[in-house]
Amino acid sequence: MELRIDEAFATGEFAGIAFDFAPVGLVITENRVIRECNQAFAEMFGYEREELRNQVFARLYPSDEEFVNIRDRGVRQLRENNTYWDERIMAQKNGTLFWCRVRGHSFTPEDPLMRAVWSFADLSTTRPYVPLSRREREIISYLSDGLTSKEIARRLDISHRTVEVYRAKLLKKFGVNNTGGLFHSLGGIGSDHVVSRSGD
């Protein structure tokens, strides 16, 4: 490894070591298949790099359903301006779930997922994974859109009181006193960038 780094500095060819030793997970995909990844990416998910090469990206999600649920997110943004990011729940090799911030850039914007490079940052230290039910995620999403409890109740066809009960449980679950604190616990981002788990 030291020889390779010395050679890079001697020749000025830094691209290879920049990819391999970047302090953030980097992965190159082709039609949702992992073609290459760096060490940080492999370690984040608990694999050796060789275990991930030429594997379908779906194996890094909590379930096939999760992958299907969000696999096409970002296609429109990548096609329009080749910029996309979100925060999503991923699964390590041992089954541990964790939040990641994902950013993407496509080499083929006309078909954005055909060839792309992605960065993954583990958010575990600032945003521990807390299981949420489908209904809790729906309510958080509507709250982040600025809807009142009554408006949320109408959207979900449940009572205003039920929304308030869910809201109170969410505040308790995250150990916060108000909706602002709840959003801060969720990373302080809008619902457009939160990709949460499907199902109950």
* pLDDT tens per residue across span 103-143: 999 999 999 999 999 999 999 888 778 887 878 878 887 88
Task: Give the predicted TM-score (pTM) of the model.
Answer: 0.73
Helices 149-156 and 134-144 meet at what angle, rounded to 10?
130
Give the model's pLDDT for residue 195.
53
Instruction: Using pLDDT thresholds of 50, 70 and 90, give the confidence band for residue 25.
Output: very high
Task: Give the model confidence (pLDDT) of 74-110 as tens digits.
Answer: 899 999 999 998 888 899 999 999 989 999 999 999 9
* Percent of all residues in the chain with a pLDDT value above 70, rounded to a whole number: 92
* Percent of all residues in the chain with a pLDDT value above 90, rounded to a whole number: 60
Q: Is the pLDDT score of 199 beyond 50?
A: no
Q: Is the pLDDT score of 4 beyond 50?
A: yes
The number of residues making up the chain comes to: 200
Closest among 95, 98, 96 to 120, alpha carbons compared:
98
Supply the DSSP symbol for 47.
-
Answer with the residue of higher pLDDT: 65 or 119: 119
Instruction: Using pLDDT thresholds of 50, 70 and 90, give the confidence band for residue 198.
Output: very low
Q: Is the pLDDT score of 190 beyond 50?
A: no
Answer with the residue of higher pLDDT: 156 or 196: 156
What CA–CA distance (Å, rounded) separates 87 from 69? 14
Rounded to an integer, the average pLDDT of 34-50 is 98
Q: Which two tokens stand for residue 159?
A: 């009572």
How many other CB atoms are there within 10 angstroms of residue 134's CB atom? 12
C-alpha distances in Å from residue 46, one per residue of 72, 82, 141: 25, 29, 31
Rg (CA), the chain: 20
Give the model's pLDDT for residue 171.
92
